[in-house]
Amino acid sequence: MNDNKTMHKLACLLIATLFSLHISANDAYLTHEQFLQKAFHNNAAVSKTFWLKPEHKIQAEKIMQHRFKLLRVRYWQHEQKTAWILDEIGKEKPITIGIIIDNNHIDSVDILAFRESRGWEIRHSFFTKQFQGLKLLDDHKLDKPVDGISGATLSVSAVKRSAILALYLAEQVKKTE
Amino acid sequence: MINKRQLRQLHRYIGAVISVFIVLLTITGILLNHTDTFRLQEKHLRHPALLNWYGIKPPDITSFMAGNSWISSDTETAYFNSMAIDKCALLTGAIKTPQMIMVSCDNSLLLVTNEGELIEVIDAEMGLPLPASGLSQDNNRAYLHSGNAFYAINTETLAFTPANGVSSSVIMPVKTPAAIAKNILQQSSAYSINLERVLLDIHSGRIAGTIGVWLIDLAALFLLLLAASGWWIWLKK
């Protein structure tokens, strides 16, 4: 009887392991469409582009700590809420990060796709939830600290930089309205 | 049975033999431990002898003319003349419109200014039909070719509308001028190897193939022997 129970537990463990392997091998967690649905529910958001002036580009490069290639960034808007999908490299490959900003505060952060071999823990809510409600300080830092994850330092840093950039861009969009 | 004098001699010989390996393993090990700090992955080595050792051959460069500018790809990156724009493994077309230059890669569409600055990257998630097999231009309108169909491109709304009766054919590649090909090869990551890879291979011995790996294994065993003989000598003192 006990043997049967042990076998059953082992089988469950094996299935769970195989399932988790399958999840981690699949790098896309959320499509753009799913992310936008989550951001705006059934409200029709408008797709817009924000053109970066030289001063914006300088700030974007300061925030991202490397050359910012793009001249315009696409975002989606409904009333005060904007959604940004940014690609940022953690170690080698880009992480696709979806950030929703509501009235200069972060509403949520989601990892849409993760392509690196290490650091995928950042997609879990125990990490992304820390960004909820954060806003940008004058020196382009988040107003509250975000705890890192051991072994995922570069991925954590990539998400933080992207969150700051989204807050900065949302602020600039608001100024132009 | 080996006596104390012989053991000391053996310890000395083993130490002398593997000292070279210890230096090699220590230096490469410390550097590899700080890969991110030293940005080893971003340091590209291009010495012909090293590339030849790894069997890395110059990549095929594909080019298109867009207005007066050359758009090329080295199987990894797209270039505006000789300036890197963004990732592009398979360049399938490039055209100049009144507003910008469009560059189609197999899975993305790069929008570039007339000066070669990247405006935006459009991919399948943003509605790009795949594979993006080429570009065409008809009466100043840009069309993307995918599968057997043409799609009119609206870069503002990101609409790719199926278009019938497109009279012009897909733009074809042209021969890359030698000067541009040379400039691209000098900066191409496809024709280089990063320092982290080389250090990893030196550390593991793989740089010298299977023999190198065995040699490092042997050095590791000698290190073990050195530690054991050292302890033995100390305990017997």
Sequence letter at residue B3: N
Task: Count other C-beta atoms under 10 Å from residue A114's C-beta.
Answer: 24
ipTM value for the complex = 0.73
**Three-state secondary-structure class, residue B122:** strand
Q: Which residues of A touch B120 (CB under 8 A)?
A: 49, 70-74
> Quick one: pLDDT at residue A26?
46
Is A70 in CB contact (< 8 Å) with chain B?
Answer: yes
Please name the member of B119, B125, B158 whose beta carbon is closest to the beta carbon of A70. Answer: B119
Is A17 in CB contact (< 8 Å) with chain B?
Answer: no
Q: Which chain B residue has its CA at the smallest distance from A52's CA?
A: B119
> Quick one: pLDDT at residue A16?
46
Separation of alpha carbons B188 and B177, rounded Å: 16
Residue A32 to residue B157, Cβ atoms within 8 A:
no
Separation of alpha carbons B228 and B237, rounded Å: 14
The average pLDDT across B218-233 equals 91
DSSP assignments along A96-109, one per residue:
EEEEEEETTEEEEE
Separation of alpha carbons B154 and A50, rounded Å: 17
- Name the β-bridge partners of B163: B150
> Quick one: pLDDT at residue B1?
67
Q: Which chain A residue has its CA at the smallest distance from B84's CA?
A: A69
Q: Looking at the predicted structure, is the pLDDT value of residue B230 above 70? A: yes
Q: How close B121 comes to chain A (CA, Å)?
A: 8
The average pLDDT across B4-9 equals 84
> Quick one: pLDDT at residue B36?
80
pLDDT in tens, B89-117: 899 999 998 889 999 999 999 999 999 99
The average pLDDT across B24-45 equals 91
Higher pLDDT, B16 or A1: B16
> Quick one: pLDDT at residue A5?
56
**Three-state secondary-structure class, residue B65:** strand
Residue B121 to residue A70, Cβ atoms within 8 A:
yes
> Quick one: pLDDT at residue B218?
93
> Quick one: pLDDT at residue A55?
94
Separation of alpha carbons B192 and B58, rounded Å: 9
Size of interface A-B (CB pairs under 8 A): 28
DSSP assignments along B5-56, one per residue:
HHHHHHHHHHHHHHHHHHHHHHHHHHHHHTHHHHTGGG-EE--HHHHHHHTP
Cα three-residue angle A74-A76-A81, rounded to 5 degrees: 130
Secondary element (H or E) of residue A67? none
Q: Are B119 and A12 in contact (CB under 8 A)?
A: no
> Quick one: pLDDT at residue A4?
59
pLDDT in tens, B61-97: 999 999 999 999 999 999 999 999 999 989 999 999 8
Residues of chain A with pLDDT under 50: 1-2, 12-13, 16-26
Task: Count other C-beta atoms under 10 Å from residue B128's C-beta.
Answer: 22
Angle between helices B195-204 and B209-236 (to 10 degrees): 60
Separation of alpha carbons B182 and B59, rounded Å: 11
Model confidence at B17, pLDDT cuts 50, 70, 90, reads confident
Please name the member of A32, A72, A73 whose beta carbon is closest to the beta carbon of B126. Answer: A32
> Quick one: pLDDT at residue A130?
95
The average pLDDT across B152-164 equals 85
DSSP state of A125: H
Q: How close B130 comes to chain A (CA, Å)?
A: 16
Separation of alpha carbons B19 and B23, rounded Å: 6
